Amino acid sequence: MEFFSIADIEDIEIGHAQDSEAGTGCTVILCKNGATAGVDVRGGGPATRETDLLRSENMIEKIHAVLLSGGSAFGLDAAAGVMCYLEEAGVGFDVGVGKVPIVCAASLFDLLVGDSSIRPDKSMGHEACMAATSDGSIGTGNVGAGTGASVGKLAGPGRSMKSGIGTYGFESGGLQVAAIVAVNSVGTVIDSLGNPLAGTLSKEKERVLKPSEAILELVQDGFTPFSSNTTIACVVTNARLTKAQANKVSSMAHDGFARAIRPVHTSNDGDTVFVVATGKVDAPLDIVGIMAADACEEAIRDAVNCAHSAYGLKAAVEIA
């Protein structure tokens, strides 16, 4: 398999908008021609929009955008700006008297950095759409939904580290599968050997604790894991999938979360994976799911490796 940029997938455009001073932003994945979609929510505290319609038995067969946002549940307001943009472009589900854009969304909690009174809103969602590109040159790190993201909050936000948004993809035999992930986990991000990249810092803030060390300290000292986290992702593929198959791929993609974040899927996370399939090529379902998990895994690591220190939080590049 060869590395592939998510923004190079045909019929997909990706854009970021952010307020770096306020410490929040949003990222949009546009599929104006419509795409089959699925979702799997594993975390115990999600903030989501239009996920029920992705259930296999429900009517809608195509969506037109996925929004990943900061701002906790407030940030879901940015989806209105995406709807406005798509309506202006004449994109949506035809209901006779007009077209209703189908926009799915998930938000992460970044209110403890920057200015918590400023969150992604309709204007920012529209701005992200206006910035959307299909030329492969999308930003990573402290941009879009990753602007205020952080990781490693088992000992509270004071010993967490800066994270961001990352992307990674693969192409093999014409099949393309790629992921974009905003990483805001309570857990630590680890490399393929289990070594910590970014997460809970030691009390001296000089090194990243191994996940087992952080959990042991949690038990010994009686810390309560900081609530309101969430890692949110969108997997995009050019495979031809049904809604049921897209939901299965969403489920399999969470394996990438589990390989890169420890602990993950806790009651203090709202981990959510969307899958968008443009339907260009035939491919075995399980192969798409395996590639989706691998893409999520590497995109999570890309998010912390591309982040830079901000809001008083150290980044992985500063600790290494």
SS3 for the chain is CEECCHHHCCCCEEEEEEECCCCEEEEEEEEEEEEEEEEEECCCCCCEECCHHHCCCCCCCCEEEEEEECCHHHHHHHHHHHHHHHHHCCCCEECCCCEECCEEEEECCCCCCCCCCCCCCHHHHHHHHHCCECCCCCCCECCHHHCCCEECCCCCHHHCEECCEEEEEEEECCEEEEEEEECCCCCEEECCCCCEEECCECCCCCCECCHHHHHHHHHHHCCCCCCCCCCEEEEEEEECCCHHHHHHHHHHHHHHHHHHEECCCCCCCCCEEEEEEEEEECCCHHHHHHHHHHHHHHHHHHHHHHCCCECCECCHHHHC
Q: What are the residue ranges spanned by the domains of the chain?
A: 2-319
Give the residue-averaged pLDDT of 52-80.
Answer: 96
Looking at residue 182, its pLDDT comes to 98
Residue 262 scores a pLDDT above 90: yes
Looking at residue 294, its pLDDT comes to 97
Residue-wise pLDDT tens digits, 149-182: 999 998 888 899 999 999 999 999 999 999 999 9
Give the least confident one: 54-63, 240-249, 271-280. 54-63
Share of the chain above pLDDT 70, in %: 98
Give the residue-averaged pLDDT of 214-236.
Answer: 83
Record: fold of 2-319: L-amino peptidase D-ALA esterase/amidase (3.60.70)
Give the residue-averaged pLDDT of 249-264.
Answer: 96
Looking at residue 320, its pLDDT comes to 61
Question: Residue 253 — very low, low, confident or very high, per pLDDT cuts 50/70/90?
Answer: very high
Looking at residue 61, its pLDDT comes to 92
Chain mean pLDDT for the chain:
93
Give the residue-averaged pLDDT of 233-240.
Answer: 98
Looking at residue 1, its pLDDT comes to 61
